[in-house]
Amino acid sequence: MSAHASHAPKRSGLWDWLTTVDHKKIAILYLIAGGLFFLAGGIEALLIRLQLMYPELSVVGAKTFNELITMHGTTMIFLAVMPVIFALMNAVVPLQIGARDVAFPFVNALGFWLFFFGGVLLNTSWFLGGAPDAGWTSYTTLALNQFSGRGIDFYVLGLQIAGLGTLIGGINFLVTIINMRAPGMTFMRMPLFTWTSFVTSGLILFAFPAITVGLVLLMFDRLFGGNFFNPDAGGNILIWQHLFWIFGHPEVYILILPAFGIISEVVSTFSKKRLFGYSSMVFATALIGFLGFMVWAHHMFTTGMGPIANTLFGLATMLIAVPTGIKIFNWLFTMWGGQIRFTTANLFAVGFIPTFTIGGMTGVMLAIPPADYQYHDSYFVVAHFHYVIVGGLVFGLFAGLYYWWPKMFGKMLNETLGKWNFWTFFVGFHLTFFPQHFLGLMGMPRRVFTYLAGQGLELGNFISTIGVFGMSIGTILFLVNVAVTAKSGKRAPADPWDGRTLEWSIPSPPPEYNFAQTPLVRGLDALWVEKMAGNKGMTPAEPLGSIHMPSGSFLPFVMSVGLFIAGFGFMYHNYVVVVIGLAINFACMLLRSLTDDPGYHIEPDEIEEKGVKA
């Protein structure tokens, strides 16, 4: 390597955050942005439940209600849980494989800013003539110009930009995990969270292009007079549903697999045991990822595909129960014979198991097409996917946040507040969503802004709304916990939980280069192996030397702003604005292509000084 500028450029404050390419800082950006969108989606949910607290209420109007459900679903899936997953992947995966950074730090930053500006674009719709109101699935023809307003344009362009960010993020993690592992870190020694992140990134790569195409077609129909979904000109409304679900079903696994990974790490650490059936866990993860692409049409049983297609997709869906069951029992037997500590992280993990099992059970029930004719688009489905996405994924994310918070921020979260957080959220969750199973079976369709009195739906809806307050309190307690501990919390040691994997072998928070010396991995649970061998830390795989780091860049931010501007140009048919936006974007790409980043070096003396073990 030739000689480059060898001092770390000093950037401070906001400028540092706008230009960072450090995966640990990008993780925090993802967490903050995802957290803010999570709160927005949560407030939308609260309004939805208030409207449904009693029959024939008018807290919000019918149109506003449809905007709320659309934005709640879209925000939660694309702008809240996805980025929090990306936050944890960014914070943890490079550390778990012993890497100094991700494969493409610049692309990593670009991915974040694209997601962020896509999300902002989508949410500006509230102030510019109304949010999208055709459901997060935006089925045509309801989502075409004749039947809905400008809001859908925000949906199309916002998701397109955010989706692009997610796609390149996925590629980045695939390459990182394939190419950047430390010596000795073979695939079958990777921690399960890294494995699930790997499979999830693969799913992102192959699923997101389908929604990209779907959104392009919808955009052409809405903005350029296309006829893809217009039955009067030969279009076919079902093409949208197929493209949406070819993306949408793998998306469910994109979301839940990292949660499986988190639960595996947390349960294993707090049972003081290695993961039971590691190989079968890896196999089950890959199998779920594969099957995830084979079952999209189970969202379309009632579209009239006929008994053959329905049965095949139904049976394929049921098969997913097998690898999922393997995971549940492996977790149970990881705890069997262990020494279980009930930290907040582990409470969420343990709460996850029965809750997710219920979500999985209703999933199998939904896979039976004739029975699904009753469940479909009823509150039964609403209950099912909230058991999977909240009871599964959000519990998993809370577990992951409590577990890795010390590593990310160098502060311990308060355990007492954490336990209150768990119990209020857990009880509130079940109170909210358990009665919804029955509401659906008793004849309540989903996405209704009200229901009539005297149809037996009052009690269930009332209980459900009460439960939301529990979930709200739980979320607020988490925020309080973050605020309180940020001010006066205990400093986190390098290894607060008696951890087993590589991230616990370096200080909390890690220095910008992560590992002063790349570690040598000698088995599954790399740190645990060293602990059992009586070593203090990891054995280095290289001598202490100069570390090359990539420079920060403002271009990802500017590129995303360019696309943000172009998005508005498309929506308002102002092609001057489109050209300006795209020109900004392409100019940045050109600049990036023409200038080589020399990076900078951190010399051994600086490492000694910063890298003192906690």
Partner 1 sequence: MKSWQQFWRQLFLFGLLALTLTGCGIQELSALKPQGPVAAMQFDLMKLSFSIMIGVFIVVILILTYVLIRYRKRPGQEGIPKQVEGSHTLEILWTAIPFLLLIIMAIPTVTTGFALSKEYDNKEALQVNVTAHQFWWEFEYPDLGVATAQDLVLPVGKKVQFTLNSADVIHAFWIPALGGKIDTNPGLENKMWLQADRTGTFYGKCAELCGASHALMDFKVEVMEQADFDKWAQKMKTVQSADPKKATASAAEGQAIFEKSCLGCHAVAGKGGKLGPNLTNFADRMRVAGIKPNERKYLEEWLKDPQKMKPGNNMPNLNLSDDQVNALVDYLYTLSVKDEVKDENKQ
Partner 2 sequence: MATHHVHAVLPDEPEKATLEGKNKILGFWLFLGGETVLFGSLFATFIALRDQTNGGPSSQQLFDMPLVAIATLLLLTSSLTSVFAVLAMHKKNLKQVQAWLTVTVLLGLGFLGLEIYEFMHYYHEGHKISSSAFGSAFYTLVGFHGGHVLFGILWIVTLQLAAVKKGLTVVTAPKFYVASLYWHFIDVVWVFIFTVVYLMGMIGGKVG
CA distance linking residue 259 with residue 161, whole number of Å: 25
Question: Binder to partner 2 among 3, 12, 127, 596 (CB under 8 A)?
Answer: 596
CB nearer to partner 2: pick between 14 and 594: 594
Q: Give the one entry of partner 1, partner 2, none that residue 315 binds, where binding means its C-beta sits below a cut-off of 5 to 8 angstroms depending on kind.
A: partner 1
* Interface characters, 160-189, with partner 2 (x: CB under 8 A): -------x---xx-xx--xxx---------
Element (H, E) at 549: strand 547-549
Q: Does 306 bind partner 2 (CB under 8 A)?
A: no
Residue 502 and residue 538 in contact, taking contact as beta carbons nearer than 8 Å: yes
At closest approach, how far in Å is the CB of 361 from partner 1? 4
CB nearer to partner 1: pick between 352 and 513: 352
538: left (phi over 0), alpha (psi -120 to 50) or beta: beta
CA distance linking residue 270 with residue 340, whole number of Å: 6
Q: Rg (Cα) of the chain, in Å, rounded?
A: 24
At closest approach, how far in Å is the CB of 564 from partner 1? 29
Q: Does 129 bind partner 1 (CB under 8 A)?
A: no
Q: Is 234 helix (H, G, I), strand (E, B) or coil?
A: coil
* Piece of 233-241, 338-346, 488-496, 504-512 that binds partner 2 (CB under 8 A): 233-241
275-304 residues near partner 1, rule: CB under 8 A: 276-280, 302-304
* Interface characters, 81-120, with partner 1 (x: CB under 8 A): ----------------------------------------
484-543 residues near partner 1, rule: CB under 8 A: 532
Q: Which tokens go with 195?
A: 């494995």
Q: Does 271 bind partner 1 (CB under 8 A)?
A: yes
60-79 residues near partner 1, rule: CB under 8 A: 61-63, 66
At closest approach, how far in Å is the CB of 72 from partner 1? 13
Look-up of token digits 């709320």: 68
Q: Does 339 bind partner 2 (CB under 8 A)?
A: no
Q: Does 457 bind partner 1 (CB under 8 A)?
A: yes
Question: Largest alpha-carbon pair distance within the chain?
Answer: 79
Bridge partner residues of 549 (DSSP)? 600
Closest listed residue to residue 445, CA positions, set 394, 349, 535, 374: 374
* Piece of 200-208, 316-324, 334-342, 507-515 that binds partner 2 (CB under 8 A): 200-208
CA distance linking residue 304 with residue 31, whole number of Å: 42
Closest listed residue to residue 474, CA positions, set 442, 431, 506: 431
Q: Does 220 bind partner 2 (CB under 8 A)?
A: yes
Question: Binder to partner 1 among 192, 350, 390, 494 (CB under 8 A)?
Answer: 350
CA distance linking residue 485 with residue 403, whole number of Å: 15
Residue 197 and residue 258 in contact, taking contact as beta carbons nearer than 8 Å: yes
Q: Does 384 bind partner 1 (CB under 8 A)?
A: no
Expressed in angstroms, the distance from the first to the final Cα of the chain is: 32
Prior bond of 539 cis (ω within 30°): no
Q: Give the one entry of partner 2, partner 1, none that residue 221 binds, where binding means its C-beta sits below a cut-off of 5 to 8 angstroms depending on kind.
A: partner 2
Q: Which tokens go with 514?
A: 């992560």
CA distance linking residue 420 with residue 466, whole number of Å: 18
Question: Binder to partner 2 among 6, 124, 137, 212 (CB under 8 A)?
Answer: 212
* Piece of 95-103, 316-324, 385-393, 533-541 that binds partner 1 (CB under 8 A): 316-324
Q: Does 434 bind partner 1 (CB under 8 A)?
A: yes
Q: What is the DSSP string of 5-40?
A: --SPPP--HHHHHHH---HHHHHHHHHHHHHHHHHH
* Interface characters, 241-270, with partner 2 (x: CB under 8 A): -xx--x------------------------
Instruction: For residue 491, give the DSSP letter.
Output: B
CA distance linking residue 19 with residue 99, whole number of Å: 21
Element (H, E) at 473: helix 458-488
CB nearer to partner 1: pick between 377 and 603: 377
CB nearer to partner 2: pick between 178 and 459: 178
At closest approach, how far in Å is the CB of 178 from partner 1? 26
At closest approach, how far in Å is the CB of 163 from partner 2? 11
Contacting positions for partner 2 (CB under 8 A):
103-104, 107, 167, 171-172, 174-175, 178-180, 205-210, 212-214, 216-217, 220-221, 224-228, 230, 233-236, 239, 242-243, 246, 590, 593-594, 596
